[in-house]
Amino acid sequence: MSANVYPVSDEIAKGALIDKAKYDAMYKQSVEDPEGFWGEHGKRIDWIKPFTKVKNVSYDPHNLYIKWYEDGTLNVSANCLDRHLEKRGDQTAIIFEGDDPSVSEHITYKDLHERVSRFANALKSLGVNKGDRVVIYLPMIPAAAVSMLACARIGAIHSIVFGGFSPEALAGRIEDCGAKVVITADEGLRGGRGVALKRNADEALSHAGVKSVEKLVVVKHTGKDIPWNDARDVWYQDICDAASPDCPPTEVNAEDPLFVLYTSGSTGKPKGVLHTSGGYLVYASMTHQYVFDYHEGDVYWCTADVGWVTGHSYIVYGPLANGATTLMFEGVPSYPDASRFWKVCEKHKVNIFYTAPTAIRALMREGAEWVEKADLSSLRILGSVGEPINPEAWEWYHEHVGKRKCPIVDTWWQTETGGILISPLPGATDLKPGSATLPFFGVEPALLDHEGNELEGATEGSLVIKYSWPGQMRTVYGDHERFIQTYFSTFAGVYTTGDGARRDEDGYYWITGRVDDVINVSGHRMGTAEVESALVAHPKVAEAAVVGVPHDIKGQGIYAYVTLNADEEPSDELRAELVKWVRKEIGPIASPDYLQWSPGLPKTRSGKIMRRILRKIAANEYDQLGDTSTLADPGVVNDLIDNRQNR
């Protein structure tokens, strides 16, 4: 834990939207009078029919619903495009920076509006109606943002699947949401290498369970030759060219769904987190403005992928609703070399830069000389998201990238929360490296003990949020019961985050990581159960248990214990085959870093795997195993310790 405190500098405070006094006053109002507060701030977006009701929420597990602005109507794409045309039609909405450093493009609001309108009409001509699901499986290119906004324009529900997911993972998500149309590209590009998106999509669509898809829209990106199915496939460019550029936005209710985004949980398959339109947009745009102290004219860059929630809220919806210039980067931080992020900041004069601790750690390892190669004088605010940032990485980011002038906003939130819940505000919050600091307006965190008692003062416990906020997820797509079970049954009357946290004497929150069986690999959520079920699906595997293990760059790595069928012999070839198998079943992000053969797993007499023990062994903390006497066969523990994978 770092003891350093970085007070708000006068220079930042002077120009900031929110200073200390304003934060205190607004926070107070937001929790004492949420209806008044959110009623006022709900007006920051354009409504077709203004809302008269602000909030209608019940956390009662027998009758659970979450509604904000429920009688208002709007269109999300009109909020991100049309309403800016008069004032900033010629301003850049999106700066696209390609994987190849010689490729970049500026797209104005006017141009983006036309592209979205054309594609929205094209989707309509393919039979996509309000409420239909559209799966987007694209690289980080402008067509991804266009696709999201085109769906929003006609009231269709998009579900983005990260381009790094395998055909199997893609198929599962298409099947779960029953998508009518899938949008992909011939290929993606990452670090100069092609990613076979169309081929993956073809494979996904050939799965027996995938029956709903009528059309596959293909963006020509690298120009690679690809197989073509005349009855099903259409070129994005062709249908956009043929469509009218005039597409009046469809009026939707505040509580109509905007998107479904699949995320990993502690059990079962990934769940479709459903966000709706009105409250989500109010919350995404408001947090974007205040957390990043966004000012008119700023160039803002979030390095996430639109396949994750960060890309939804803080590359597309939040920034565009605010009329910002948002940068979309197709590539990776290490290509062509480790100065790429900083060169891009220099090239586009980025003012606000938002990235993940895993990227910081990887670049830190390459050395500060790569940062010195670029002129970073345009930077004003830095951000971090996805996992706890270790104080060492924070200090490096602050010193070498921020030159000790740029505040770092360490933003804690989740796919489920729609937007940032705990974070410093640049002009208001003194910083402590490694702490996400204080709650955003309207957010009331609490720490509970195992019995659900609220703990007071400086303490540590399970992090819950006491009351609803407009950006909160509304349900699990197609499974409201799972929504209730996952988030509202562990503790009564509050939203359970799945994270643990410590609160210090200043009321600052320090997220300590997941308290459930979710691991966080390079800022990406992975359910241990998902990796386990991929492993046991292999014909030679009898049983598997997966845990997270500390990893220098990724934050957490994946450590798998595998028990083979009785007639199978362990070998290095089989180990490699199993790692490959998991990549194929889920995607490269789920590759086990370590795979240990385990003739037996530590189980209780009732057959429950004791993951606590497996975690300790994986972390080389086998002198702290605690009580193993309740195990059915305590002997397996020594065997596992002796056969640890060297790290």
* Min CB(414)–ligand WTA separation in Å: 4
* Min CB(135)–ligand WTA separation in Å: 19
Measure the CA–CA gap between 541 and 535, rounded to whole angstroms.
7
Segment lying near ligand WTA (by CB under 6 A), choices 53-61, 82-90, 212-220, 495-503 = 495-503
Beta strands at 157-160 and 381-385: parallel, antiparallel or unpaired: unpaired
Segment lying near ligand WTA (by CB under 6 A), choices 9-17, 208-216, 496-504, 534-542 = 496-504
* Min CB(14)–ligand WTA separation in Å: 27
* Min CB(293)–ligand WTA separation in Å: 17
Question: Between residues 42 and 388, which has the closer beta carbon with respect to ligand WTA?
Answer: 388
* Min CB(315)–ligand WTA separation in Å: 12
Structure tokens at 357: 């601790």
541 marked ligand binding residue: yes
385 forms part of the interface with ligand WTA (CB under 6 A)? yes
* Min CB(412)–ligand WTA separation in Å: 4
Tell me the site size for ligand WTA, rule CB under 6 A.
23
Name residue 330's amino acid. E
Segment lying near ligand WTA (by CB under 6 A), choices 51-59, 225-233, 380-388, 618-626 = 380-388
257 forms part of the interface with ligand WTA (CB under 6 A)? no
| Closest among 210, 156, 147 to 183, alpha carbons compared | 147
Binding mask 499-538 for ligand WTA (x = CB under 6 A): x-----------x-xx-----x----x-------------
Beta bridge partners of 65: 58
436 forms part of the interface with ligand WTA (CB under 6 A)? yes
Structure tokens at 289: 């403005």
617 forms part of the interface with ligand WTA (CB under 6 A)? no
| 62 Cβ contact list (under 8 Å, min separation 6) | none
Question: Between residues 70 and 410, which has the closer beta carbon with respect to ligand WTA?
Answer: 410
Question: Between residues 34 and 424, which has the closer beta carbon with respect to ligand WTA?
Answer: 424
47 marked ligand binding residue: no
| Closest among 323, 304, 493 to 415, alpha carbons compared | 304
Check if the beta carbon of residue 291 is closer than 8 Å to that of residue 420: yes
132 forms part of the interface with ligand WTA (CB under 6 A)? no
Check if the beta carbon of residue 162 is closer than 8 Å to that of residue 307: yes
Question: Between residues 160 and 201, which has the closer beta carbon with respect to ligand WTA?
Answer: 160
Measure the CA–CA gap between 261 and 535, rounded to whole angstroms.
24
Question: Between residues 26 and 291, which has the closer beta carbon with respect to ligand WTA?
Answer: 291
| 55 Cβ contact list (under 8 Å, min separation 6) | 34, 35, 38, 67, 68, 468
538 marked ligand binding residue: yes
Question: Between residues 75 and 437, which has the closer beta carbon with respect to ligand WTA?
Answer: 437
Beta bridge partners of 503: 459, 509
* Min CB(259)–ligand WTA separation in Å: 14
Structure tokens at 532: 């386990």
465 forms part of the interface with ligand WTA (CB under 6 A)? no
Question: Between residues 216 and 476, which has the closer beta carbon with respect to ligand WTA?
Answer: 476
Q: CA torsion, points 162, 163, 164, 165, in degrees to nearest 10?
A: 70
- What's the chain's length in residues? 647
99 forms part of the interface with ligand WTA (CB under 6 A)? no
491 forms part of the interface with ligand WTA (CB under 6 A)? no
The answer, yes or no, to whether the previous bond of 319 is cis (omega within 30 of 0) is no
Q: How many CB atoms sit inside 10 A of residue 237's CB?
A: 12
* Min CB(58)–ligand WTA separation in Å: 24
Choosing from 30, 147, 166, 263, the residue that interacts with ligand WTA (CB under 6 A) is 263
Q: What are the φ/ψ torsions at residue 620 (nearest 5 degrees)?
A: 60, 25
Q: Is 212 exposed, middle or buried (0-12, 13-18, 19+ CB in 10 A)?
A: middle
190 marked ligand binding residue: yes
164 forms part of the interface with ligand WTA (CB under 6 A)? no
514 marked ligand binding residue: yes
Measure the CA–CA gap between 353 and 396, rounded to whole angstroms.
15
498 forms part of the interface with ligand WTA (CB under 6 A)? yes
Site for ligand WTA in 276-335 (CB under 6 A): 308-310
* Min CB(206)–ligand WTA separation in Å: 29
* Min CB(509)–ligand WTA separation in Å: 9
499 marked ligand binding residue: yes
* Min CB(415)–ligand WTA separation in Å: 3
Check if the beta carbon of residue 23 is closer than 8 Å to that of residue 428: yes
Q: What is each CA distance from 124 to 65, 135, 256, 416, in whole angstroms?
A: 31, 15, 18, 29
Measure the CA–CA gap between 494 and 73, rounded to whole angstroms.
28
Site for ligand WTA in 394-433 (CB under 6 A): 410-415
Check if the beta carbon of residue 53 is closer than 8 Å to that of residue 71: yes
Measure the CA–CA gap between 336 and 192, rounded to whole angstroms.
8
Beta strands at 104-108 and 92-97: parallel, antiparallel or unpaired: antiparallel
Summarize as ranges the residues that interact with ligand WTA (CB under 6 A): 263, 308-310, 385-388, 410-415, 436, 497-499, 511, 513-514, 520, 525
**Which residues belong to the annotated binding site for Mg(2+)?**
536, 538, 541
